[in-house]
Structure 1
Amino acid sequence: MARQARLFIPDCPMVLELQGIAGQEVFNTREAFSLFYTQLPLSAAEEEVAIHAYCMVPAGALIMISTSEAPRAGRFVQNLNRHFSPAVRQVQTVHSSALWEPRFKSTVVQPGLHSLKACLFVEQLAARAAGAPDLATYPWSSFAAHAGVVNEAWLIDLPVYWQLGNTPFERQSRYRQFSEQGLSERDCQELSHCLQKGWLWSDDAFCVQIQELANRSVRPRPRGRPVLKKNSTD
């Protein structure tokens, strides 16, 4: 059976998951983290991709992007790997010929509140996978930039982030408040499932509205045969 095309909706945020091959750690040294971090904006610029959020942990990375054309997401990941893979071998021991699982996972996210939640979900990988006690001091995540701790001019803020306030200080303060509320267990489970399966994460209304713009089905179809409608004369 042919592999299903990766879900893409123009200019809608996407969350990409890059995992070390066979569960192996990709980032074992500070230098490895730094190399990947430095390459992120370079590869994004080359492939005309906007990076909204990111988080790196030893076993891999989550990156939130948007772009206008479906092939750009894949080329962005390829560009990252092409530059990072040979460089990282100079700063740490790599025990396999490949660094990453051959196919990265992804989900498309509804703009608005869903995308703000997905942004925080990406950044909270530092707590879920790396046990970071304070996201604001974790160096390999965009949370510190969104919270106003550091400045990363190459990050492209989501439109919903701009709606948090009229000034950078207001937006940063309200994002910190938003992070303190946290994500519900349901949101985390739904987003994780969509990421693993490649489906759209959205409400039902957006799902119906956006289907015509998508390159394939945005959600799985109900199992079984469709119910036949009875003839009105029966």
Structure 2
Amino acid sequence: MPPSHPAWPWPAFIAHRGGGRLAPENTLAAMRTGAAAGFGMVEFDVKLSRDGMPFLLHDDTVDRTSDGSGLASELDWRALGRMDFGGWHGPDFAGEPAPSLYAVARCTRAHHIHSNIEIKPTTGHEAETGTAVAREAARLWAGADLPPLLSSFSEAALEAARAAAPDLPRALLIEGPVPADWRLRQQGLGCIGLNIDARHADEAAVRDILDQGATLAVWTVDDPDLARALFDRGCHAVFTDALRHVRADAPGLVR
């Protein structure tokens, strides 16, 4: 079994952007896909529309994952509601809307799956996004068996999230190699640990993080052998797009 950690009560296998490669990312269809695949936890990205609605989107623009165009921060919620966020993935998902954080909370809680909410601010909107997402998450997950884990690459967003909802757990996302000052940054933000890139989760980096008592989740892990190696090193969780292969019931993955 993956190792336990008092600060990591969530499942060890996390469906990346809801449904991995099986559904259009960051949609309700993706959340249902992750649940149907047997995942007990999903990860998704949240930013703000121009009129302040927290909704799911990874990029600064809607161009890649919808039939619309433009910066998310310059589009209001009504305009976003007229866009198709599923057709790019295939005809079975045509017409899938961009969901609000409210809709995703209702969906995931109804399916009894836990959430890693990545605060993904449009560039230049870090603090306001961290504040709004954390406040809404605290409200929507009030009374849940486990709170959502908030994470972000943006330290400004995490600082704002801590001020807005200090009781929600947070993790610092690291782009590239783990920096030498990671512990100072993690503790300064009041984060429970790090979420790091699998390409930089070598034995030395993993041991350094775990020896200092931090939690460690690794993205994006699509190879079962790599997932097994990471758990053997002591990692607490992996994010995956390969929902059929990297999962709790995969042969040999969980001993």
Q: Same fold (TM over 0.5)?
A: no
TM-score relative to the length of structure 2: 0.30
More helix by share: 1
Give the structure with higher Rg (CA).
Answer: 1
More strand by share: 2
Ranked by relative contact order (alpha carbons within 8 Å, sequence separation 6 or more), the top structure is 1
